[in-house]
């Protein structure tokens, strides 16, 4: 059975104190409910990683992720944060290839591939994001776009490394817009992604790879999205900044 995963990407939100309050609220509520096999991940700012790792150790059911990493191992790269530095905070995961990084920081598939390789080499679990734009979907290019993003960034990995990757499908037109993919659109693309993985790495690895949905996921639509056989959880932005909302999403994942 694949892992069910609910990940909160806090993006560039919350001061340290706001983050601690939100984190504590989420962990208190998490302790009150039956999780039944859901892995909860929170991705705060780099600056706060160490703090949240120590809070998570008290709670022990939340895993901490960075939102990005450098493609360089170390050296004179002012302002960059290497996978090794992330790992040294105790964080275990890193989001790579988010569409906001691709769009605002010109991240290419090649750069993303380097980040994936380095994060795996360092022992971090990459959460690899892919997604098409509204125009690409309207031109029926969405499958091709996803195929290219995945094959360029991930398909040079040997099977022993590929099986460490978590994939997140985040259609760009759904991120922060309030317009989520329909459950049918999500299932169709997740199934397609799993078939690409199967063609490359075989049934066993494809069946074990978690594929998360992201893009305006909230407590109103999460149930219908998570009911799909190929949707293994969510990468949640806005709705993860509200403890009650995020817990409802986690509950709906546990129930499906």
Rounded Cα–Cα distance for residues 234 and 215 (Å): 9
- Which is closer to ligand 13P, CB of 132 or CB of 201? 132
Q: What does the block give as tokens for 219? A: 């407590």
Which residues of this chain interact with ligand 13P, rule CB under 6 A? 9, 98, 170, 175-176, 214-217, 235-239
Which residues are marked as active site? Answer: 98, 170
Residue appearing with tokens 């329909």 = 182
Please name which of 196, 186, 195, 194 lies closest in space to residue 217, comparing C-alpha atoms: 186
- Which is closer to ligand 13P, CB of 86 or CB of 168? 168
| Residue closest to ligand 13P, measured at CB | 237
Query: Shortest approach of ligand 13P to residue 219 CB, angstroms?
Result: 12
- Which is closer to ligand 13P, CB of 126 or CB of 237? 237
Give backbone dihedrals phi and psi of 63, rounded to 5 degrees, phi first: -105, 140
Please name which of 69, 78, 79 lies closest in space to residue 107, comparing C-alpha atoms: 69
Query: Shortest approach of ligand 13P to residue 180 CB, angstroms?
Result: 8
Half-sphere exposure in the Cβ direction for 2 (13 Å, CA): 26
- Which is closer to ligand 13P, CB of 68 or CB of 256? 68
CB 229 within 8 A of CB 187: yes
Query: Shortest approach of ligand 13P to residue 181 CB, angstroms?
Result: 11
Query: Shortest approach of ligand 13P to residue 74 CB, angstroms?
Result: 27
Q: What does the block give as tokens for 239? A: 């709705």
């Amino acid at each position: 059975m694949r892992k069910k995963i609910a990940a909160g990407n806090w993006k560039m939100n919350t001061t340290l104190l706001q983050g601690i309050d939100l984190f504590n609220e989420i962990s208190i509520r998490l302790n009150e409910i039956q999780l039944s096999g859901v892995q909860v991940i929170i991705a705060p700012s780099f600056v706060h990683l160490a703090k949240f790792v120590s809070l998570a150790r008290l709670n022990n059911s939340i895993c901490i992720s960075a939102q990005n990493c450098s493609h360089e191992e170390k050296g004179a790269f002012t302002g960059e944060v290497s996978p090794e530095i992330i790992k040294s905070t105790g964080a275990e995961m890193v989001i790579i290839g988010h569409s906001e990084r691709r769009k605002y920081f010109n991240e290419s598939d090649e750069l993303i591939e380097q980040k994936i390789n380095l994060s795996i080499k360092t022992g971090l679990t990459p959460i690899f994001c892919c997604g098409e734009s509204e125009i690409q979907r309207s031109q029926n290019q969405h499958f091709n776009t996803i195929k290219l993003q995945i094959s360029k960034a991930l398909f040079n990995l040997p099977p022993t490394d590929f099986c460490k990757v978590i994939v997140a499908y985040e259609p760009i037109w759904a991120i922060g817009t309030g317009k989520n993919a329909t459950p049918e659109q999500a299932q169709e693309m997740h199934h397609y992604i799993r078939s690409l993985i199967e063609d490359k790495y075989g049934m066993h690895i494809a069946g074990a790879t978690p594929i998360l949905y992201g893009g305006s996921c909230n407590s109103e639509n999460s149930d219908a999205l998570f009911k799909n056989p190929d949707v293994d959880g969510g990468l949640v932005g806005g709705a993860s900044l509200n403890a009650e909302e995020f817990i409802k999403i986690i509950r709906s994942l546990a129930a499906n």
